[in-house]
Amino acid sequence: MSKVLIIGAGGVGRVVTQKCASVPAVFSEILLASRTVSKCDVIAKEVGQGRVQTAQVDADKVPELVELINGFNPEMVINVALPYQDLTIMEACLETGVHYLDTANYEPKEEAKFEYSWQWAYQDRFKEKGLTAILGCGFDPGVTSIFTARAAKHHFDALHYLDIVDCNGGDHGKAFATNFNPEINIREITQKGKYWEDGQWVETEPFEHRKELTYPNIGKRSSYLLYHEELESLVKNYPTIKRARFWMTFGEEYLTHLRVIENIGMSRIDPVKFKGLDIVPLEFLKEVLPNPGDLGENYEGETSIGCRIKGSKDGAEKTLYIWNNCSHRAAFEATGAQGVSFTTGVPAMLGAMMLLTGKWKKPGVFNVEEFDPDPFLDLLGKYGLPWQEEVGVDLEL
């Protein structure tokens, strides 16, 4: 039994907290902290039975984090705050001697760019302290990387072609809304795309490449090539990969709104003067768009996320499709959160469980595919995300 500190009280934080609270044999005490403590209090009340303590913390400030961690003395920190805060939280974990887990890699606030180099640079420091840092333990990144690790362990001698496919086939009834933090989401999808091919990165314009792909229970959807962070670690850890790409679905109405947002300058991340104040347009836009945490009640349909892989086994070519479908309604009924928050929060809790039970515990900084995928996937369905795999399929790619 271990104490755990969860930082972040958005939709993902709600799911992580509820799921941790449901396993008292592993998570004996839970402290949920955020810049806005009232959000933590709402989640703690939902959980009930005094299972969750709450606290206020500014995760941009290492001294505040250190004081909070030392006061609670957890075994580990689950970081579901903003990606801007990964490094400050990692610094605080090093200073206080606790393990670390996050769901998305670091990106600097002043530039729409994300890569693992900043966090991988902590390898020696975590190793010297005997601490484990687990990076990217959401769904994508996270489960998609663990699916890839399963494929490499059980199905292939060598992975050659990897396509990660992410479809949200749901409908929340809003004219325009993002499924997670609008600021992070819009920064991510409006930057240039890229994919790995023949030992190098190939850069693309945003939404330049589109394919019509078929998703289980959903059907055909327009899928666009983006860059996503798990590609960086997967091609590093599986050097036989000849090509790796990431595809995500977008509807025409969503893309039309996005073009308008860009054309009128509301996606800018540099400050502009307004009545004597410095205002970042995208930060302002975030405040007027629907809160992703409030989308769940009327959300219909489901997500479908997985890996389509081609490689070789015993000298023969082989294909594999491994995926999960998640119902928005079922996610909301279980946790009060929509499916995108649910599919991120459940893996974060399971990754923490893997660490605390010793199955994923070694000194240093690691992406999830560097651990044994089996104990994680053995439990993924039990906690709400059943997965399927099919060999010998037409990958459509």
Q: State the average pLDDT over residues 18-32.
A: 98
For residue 338, give the 3-state DSSP assignment. Answer: coil
Residue ranges of the domains in the chain? 2-135, 143-334+384-391
The answer on pLDDT for 289 being more than 90 is no
What pLDDT score was predicted for residue 309? Answer: 98
Is the domain defined by 143-334+384-391 classed in CATH 3.90.180.10? no
The answer on pLDDT for 375 being more than 80 is yes
Distances (CA, A) of 23 to 73, 88, 323: 19, 28, 25
Note the pTM of the prediction, 2 decimals. 0.94
What pLDDT score was predicted for residue 295? Answer: 75
Is the domain defined by 2-135 classed in CATH 3.40.50.150? no
Q: State the average pLDDT over residues 336-346.
A: 95
Identify whether the C-beta of residue 310 lies closer than 8 Å to the C-beta of residue 240: no
Give 228-280 pLDDT, tens digit per residue. Answer: 999 999 999 999 999 999 999 988 888 788 887 888 888 887 888 888 888 88
Q: Give the torsion sign (CA, 181, 186, 191, 196).
A: positive
What is the number of alpha carbons within 13 Å of residue 43 lying toward its C-beta? 33
Q: State the average pLDDT over residues 67-77.
A: 98
State residue 303 phi and psi, 5-degree precision: -95, 155
What pLDDT score was predicted for residue 180? Answer: 65
State residue 175 phi and psi, 5-degree precision: -65, -40
* Confidence class for position 299, pLDDT limits 50, 70, 90: confident
- Lowest-pLDDT range of 104-118, 177-191, 334-348: 177-191
* DSSP 8-state code for residue 12: H
Q: What percent of the chain lies above the pLDDT cut of 90? A: 78
Q: State the average pLDDT over residues 320-330.
A: 97
What pLDDT score was predicted for residue 12? Answer: 95
The answer on pLDDT for 189 being more than 90 is no
* DSSP 8-state code for residue 2: E
Give 133-160 pLDDT, tens digit per residue. Answer: 999 999 999 999 999 999 999 999 999 9
What is the number of alpha carbons within 13 Å of residue 64 lying toward its C-beta? 13
Residue labelled with tokens 């009060």: 336
What pLDDT score was predicted for residue 296? Answer: 67
Distance CA 244, CA 215 (A): 19
Give 190-204 pLDDT, tens digit per residue. Answer: 888 999 999 999 999
